[in-house]
Amino acid sequence: MTAQPPPPSEDGPTGHDATGPDAAGPPAGDDDVQGTEVGLVARVRAVLRVPDFRKLWLSTALSSFGDWLGLLAITATATSLVDGFAAANFALGGVLLFRLLPAIVLGPLAGAFADRFDRRRTMVVTDVLRFGFFASIPLVDNLVWLFVAQFVIEALSLFWIPAKDAAVPNMLRKDQLEPANQLSLVTTYGLTPVAAAVVFAVLTTIGERISDLLAVSAVDLALYVNALTFLVAAVVIWNLPSISGRRAAGVKPVHEESFLASLVSGFSFAGHTPLVRGLVVGITGAFVAAGVVIATGQAFALSLGGGEAAYGLLFGAVFIGLGTGIAFGPSVARDLARERLFGVAIVAAGIAVSLLAWTPELWIALLLVVAMGFFAGIAYLAGFTLLGTEVDDAVRGRTFALVQSLVRAGLIVSLALTPFAVGLLGRHVLDLGIGSLTVTGERLLLGLAGLVAVGVGVGAYRQMDDRRPVPLVRDVVTALRRDTTARRRLAGGGVFIAFEGGEGAGKSTQVRRLQEWLTADGLVTRATFEPGATPSGAGIRRIVLDPDTVGLAARAEALLYAADRAQHVHDVLRPALDAGEVVITDRYVDSSLAYQGAGRVIPMDDVRMISRWATEGLRPDLTVLLDLPPEVGLARARGRGTADRLEAESLDFHQRVRRTFRALAESDPGRYLVLDATQDPDQVAAAVRERVGMLLAGLPRQAAAAPADGAGGS
């Protein structure tokens, strides 16, 4: 059984390399999930198995809960310290303004600080200081001090956020960052706000009892609880030395630059790096449009004939869509490169806003708002993940801080100017002859916001797209298409099973045994392999595996495997599946991701994109990964005679291959069966039969099984 590394793939961790120094974080263990858990849940569980990230996430969730609770308490305190309706609204507006202003003044400085100084110490010191300032608000009990404290707290948060955001990618593999970001964003904007609102409601409801028992008001108690959460977080973070670690090796330390020089270099990096420039343009423009949507919400609800209830429904619909997009959006378009997905999602959100501007009915508006939030959630998650995976550690803090500053500045400008613009535009009724059309300021601004979002989405796409050979529309269609067992059964019952693994794992043996078992059970079964299952593929196989082949570039090798796979899909796999056969292949796309992506260190997105194009999105219904330590597998393979080009590679090469196979399985456990290939072959075959039997339950059997053809292996 010679092991061959096939062409690129569409499966695996969402769009990011999981090898080399970027593969930091523990690989999937031998006890990884092998069942049929939902992919997202399993990926989140895998991320939470990283101890340092789990502790950081818990402390961040606690701080987030305290922050939301503190916001409710501070706004309540501000309005209670003044008399009169107007004064209360001015106080409330002042609190919100002082939450946003520090970002404009200090954001870039905070990012340079995060890149220049120890991130763990930065986070601990800022948490301790936030504890002190929050605790001081009820003690001083003065509106001016509340404004001062709020400004300082937000300024401290600006130093904490980029330090945390820049540290997280060093704790995890690249493919783990997206589920980690999903977990963090859903916690921060979904779970903790609700929990804080419930706790605040309970505290204010039993406020008199609290005052009598503790001699402190319910609002003050909420502030003390909030302060305490930051102190607890400081203790947790102090005991996470990995936060201080840096991933980049050989990079000039930031402290060798002056502070001003590091600040200037951060701006220069953002301005001259197309991907970062596209992210900054896209995220900032999208939040400017979001500010317009927020500021026109009440007027728009009135134009629909609703009141406060309609406004509340629209407001809630935004967060429903946002949460849904963050949680499930990546699963919908998991195979689309995040550089493309980011711009496409912003454009889709802008189109939804543009349609919203002319919607006459509340129920249609609610659907469009959910759609807008859904695409906005996808874009925000994709952008946030790209910042963590594609920006070098040395400038990551400054990049995160720059984005945060521009987002807040954009929100301030749009929130401040939109109400005035709505008032100036007013309300007009246009006579169209066959009827009249009412045009209002808020609808005009919503339409403008939609056009802005579409424009920045297109601009971001043009900046970030690397001119991949696959056209955008084709790429989106193949990413969205699901070539599943259920769909093929409708056409005739075909099922696609792939065996993957390193050298000497026993794939060919298990392919043959599974084929024999299925044939005896009355199923028409075809066994095949890569590379070389077609006449043209046989020539490619000789080139890529012949140990005498020298000077073959890594990308040329990847393209040869892709060519073999394209012919294999066209000549063997598709026809057999369309005919209702069970097709078993020895190697498929994952081998290209592991061998060419990780082994040859080609960007994983490039390998995945080429494979998706070559296979037209065809992926297995089940992938069986035979996991084996490389040293054991190489000893088996080399014991058979002369090693081929891949078997002759270094142990480090094969260890990278193994880590990537396991990371791919961890990313989608519902579609993988991971088995320990050091077991007896009979045990492995029994486990394979059990899982395949569940997959094929209900497929029609034939009275007399036709002999299977094409059995072969690599």
Residues at the binding site for ATP are 501-508
Q: For residue 179, say if its preceding peptide bond is cis, omega within 30 degrees of 0.
A: no
Cβ neighbours of 694 (radius 10 Å): 10
| Residue of 341, 283, 291 whose CA lies nearest to 449 | 291
CB 46, CB 179: distance < 8 Å: yes
Provide the greatest CA pair distance for the chain. 90
Cβ neighbours of 428 (radius 10 Å): 11
Instruction: Return all residues near 639 (Cβ < 8 A) that are at least 6 apart.
Output: none
C-alpha distances (whole Å) from 325 to each of 246, 329, 375, 406 are 31, 5, 6, 23
Burial class (CB in 10 A: 0-12, 13-18, 19+), 211: middle
Phi, then psi, of 50 in degrees rounded to 5: -85, 110
Residues contributing to the annotated binding site: 501-508
C-alpha distances (whole Å) from 521 to each of 27, 486, 676, 693 are 37, 21, 26, 10
- Tell me how far apart the alpha carbons of residues 240 and 618 are, in angstroms, rounded to a whole number: 43
| Residue of 172, 158, 166, 156 whose CA lies nearest to 118 | 166
- Tell me how far apart the alpha carbons of residues 333 and 379 are, in angstroms, rounded to a whole number: 12
Three-class DSSP category at 508: helix
Instruction: Return all residues near 268 (Cβ < 8 A) that are at least 6 apart.
Output: none
User: How would you classify residue 20: left for phi > 0, otherwise alpha for psi between -120 and 50, otherwise beta?
Assistant: left
Which amino acid belongs to residue 457? G
Instruction: Return all residues near 166 (Cβ < 8 A) that are at least 6 apart.
Output: 114, 115, 119, 393, 396, 397, 400
Half-sphere exposure of 536 (CA within 13 A, CB side): 13
Burial class (CB in 10 A: 0-12, 13-18, 19+), 83: exposed
CB 227, CB 149: distance < 8 Å: no
| Residue of 369, 713, 346, 353 whose CA lies nearest to 531 | 713
Phi, then psi, of 430 in degrees rounded to 5: -100, 130
Which amino acid belongs to residue 563? A
What tokens does 140 get? 């001083």
Alpha helical stretches, state H, 253-361:
259-272, 274-295, 297-303, 308-332, 338-356
> What one-character DSSP code corresponds to residue 603?
-
Phi, then psi, of 622 in degrees rounded to 5: -145, 135
What tokens does 265 get? 């270099």
Strand-strand pairing, 582-586 and 525-529: parallel
C-alpha 401: how far from chain center: 20
What tokens does 675 get? 């088995």
CB 449, CB 292: distance < 8 Å: yes
CB 339, CB 606: distance < 8 Å: no
